[in-house]
């Protein structure tokens, strides 16, 4: 009797280990397919800029989408642990620069913190427009005013109205999938 109970226990613990291994394998598979499918979403590559209390921020962002025709709204998700998040939240407005397909180098220079040196931001020329840094050399840009911030998650969503849009020259926009970068998963 004792022996049967003992074996029964052993059997039970073997089964529970097997179930744990199976659940763990399923979790890994789910994470893998979640990452892979989220990385199949399509994105552009943009440069967001703002300024508050004399501090500039210029950063490359990809989680951007139009959110309404009328009024024209866009959403941009900005990493909470970033200077851009703090500055755009304080200032309530920003420029979104649209890059051309040959401007991958420019995009990569704004993965780093913003440095103003020799009158350039991370090596790129700009001018102040309404006390906001506006990059030269870009094909187009949008001037946006924040209307709402959704604080969920690690990249709060900034919903903003497009108050001005300027085209400097026509070209194909830079797309994330044409680079070897990825952001998402
Ligand atoms: C491919 C790629 C895409 C990115 N997309 C975003 C994005 O959509 N939103 C964001 O907040 N950061 C994004 N980042 C990270 C910012 O570019 C980076 O954190 C930036 O340097 C922030 O600078 P800051 O701390 O000066 O604001 C991305 C980075 C890479 C490499």
87 beta partners: none
- Tell which one of 61, 90, 124 to mutate to probe ligand 1, the residue whose CB is within 8 A of the most ligand atoms: 61
Asked if pLDDT for residue 8 goes beyond 70, the answer is no
Distance CA 178, CA 149 (A): 30
CA of 62 to the centre of ligand 1 (A): 8
Report residue 12's pLDDT band, with 50, 70 and 90 as the boundaries. low
Same domain, yes or no: 107 and 59: yes
Give the pTM: 0.89
Same domain assignment for residues 62 and 150:
yes
Name the residue range of residue 126's domain.
46-176
- Residues making up the chain, counted from first to last: 185
pLDDT number for residue 63: 98
- Same domain? For 92 and 1 the reply is no
Separation between Cα atoms, residue 94 and residue 49, nearest integer Å:
6
State the sign of the Cα–Cα–Cα–Cα dihedral 131, 135, 136, 140: negative
- For residue 107, which atom of ligand 1 is closest to its CA? 17
- What would the pLDDT profile of 50-82 be if each residue is shown by its tens digit? 999 999 999 999 999 999 999 999 999 999 999
- What total of structural domains would you count in the chain? 2
**Could you tell me if residue 182 is inside a domain?**
no
> CATH number, domain at 158?
2.30.110.10
């Amino acid at each position: 009797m004792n022996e049967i109970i003992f074996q029964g226990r052993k059997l039970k613990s073997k089964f529970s280990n097997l179930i744990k291994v199976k659940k763990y394998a399923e979790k890994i598979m789910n994470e893998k397919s979640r990452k892979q499918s989220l990385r199949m979403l399509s994105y552009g590559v943009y440069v967001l800029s703002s300024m508050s209390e004399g501090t500039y921020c210029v950063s490359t962002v990809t989680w951007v989408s139009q959110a309404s025709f009328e009024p024209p709204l866009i959403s941009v998700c900005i990493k909470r642990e970033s200077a851009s998040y703090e500055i755009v939240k304080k200032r309530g407005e920003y420029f979104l620069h649209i890059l051309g397909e040959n401007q991958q180098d420019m995009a990569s220079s704004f993965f780093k913190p913003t440095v103003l040196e020799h009158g350039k931001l991370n090596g790129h020329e700009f001018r102040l427009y309404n006390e906001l840094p506006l990059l030269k050399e870009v094909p187009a840009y949008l001037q946006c005013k924040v209307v709402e911030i959704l604080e969920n998650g690690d990249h709060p969503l900034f919903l903003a109205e497009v108050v001005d849009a300027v085209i400097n020259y026509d070209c194909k926009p830079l797309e994330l999938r044409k680079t070897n970068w990825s952001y998402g998963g």
